[in-house]
Structure 1
Amino acid sequence: MIRKTLLLAGAAALGLLAQPALAQQASATRGKQAGDFMIGASVITVVPMDGGSVDLIGGTPNASVAVTPQLDFTYFFTPNFAVNLIAATTRHDLEVRNSAIGTVDLGHVWALPPTLTFQYHPLPTSQFSPYVGVGVNWTMFYSEGGGYSAPVLRTRVDNAWGLALNAGLDVELAPNWLLNFDVKWIYLRPDVEVDTSVGRIGATANLDPWIFGVGVRYRF
Structure 2
Amino acid sequence: MNTRISLLAAASLAFSAGAQAQEQSFSLGIAQVSINSKASDLRGPFTPAGANLKVDDATTLVFSYTRRVDDRFNLELALGLPPTHDVQGKGTLASVGKIAEVKQFSPTMFVNYSFAGPKATLQPFVGVGVNYTNFYGGKSTPAGSNASGGPTSITLTDSFGLAAQVGLNWRIDERWFASAKIATAQVKSDLTSNSAGLIRTTTIDFRPVVFAVSGGYRF
TM-score by structure 2 length? 0.79
What is the alpha-carbon root mean square deviation over aligned residues?
1.9
1:117 alignment partner in structure 2: 110
Find out whether 1:135 has 2:134 as its counterpart.
no
Q: Judging changes above 3 Å, is the alpha-carbon distance between structure 1 residues 146 and 198 closer, same or farther for their aligned structure 2 residues? A: closer
Counterpart of 1:151 in structure 2: which amino acid? A
**Aligned residue runs from structure 1 range 1-220, under 5 A:** 35-56=22-43, 57=48, 58-88=50-80, 89-99=82-92, 102-103=95-96, 105-124=98-117, 125-148=119-142, 149=144, 150-152=146-148, 153-196=152-195, 199-220=198-219
- Give aligned pairs, total: 187
**4+ residue segments displaced more than 4 Å:** 100-104
SS at match of 1:49: coil
Between the aligned partners of 2:29 and 2:94, the Cα distance in structure 1 is: 40
Q: d(CA) in 1 for partners of 2:205 and 2:92?
A: 16
User: Once the two structures are superposed, what CA deviation does each residue of 1:2-28 show, in whole Å capped at 9, x if it has no partner?
Assistant: xxxxxxxxxxxxxxxxxxxxxxxxxxx
The structural deviation recorded for 1:105 is: 3.8
Distance verdict in 2 for CA 1:52–1:111, change over 3 Å: same
1:196 to partner: Cα distance: 2.8
When the two structures are superposed, what TM-score results if normalisation uses the length of structure 1?
0.79
Is the 8 Å Cα contact of residues 140 and 154 (structure 2) preserved in structure 1? no
Q: Give unpaired runs (5+ residues) of structure 1.
A: 1-33
Cα displacement (A) at 1:133: 0.6
Question: C-alpha offsets along residues 83-134 of structure 1, whole Å, 9 cap, x if unaligned?
Answer: 1111211110112301378546431111000011111111123211010011
Alpha-carbon separation, structure 2, partners of 1:60 and 1:164: 27
Letter in 2 for 1:46: V
Cα distance 1:70–1:92, how it changes in 2: closer, same or farther (>3 A)? same
Stretches of structure 2 lacking an aligned partner (at least 5 in a row): 1-20
In structure 2, what is the Cα distance between the partners aligned to 1:59 and 1:49?
18
Q: Which has the greater radius of gyration?
A: 1
Quote the sequence identity (%): 21
Change (3 A) 1:98 1:45: same
> Distance in 2 between the 1:52 and 1:215 partners?
32
Q: What is the alpha-carbon distance in structure 2 between the residues aligned to residue 171 and residue 55 of structure 1?
A: 46
Structure-2 change in CA distance of 1:105 and 1:123 (3 Å): same
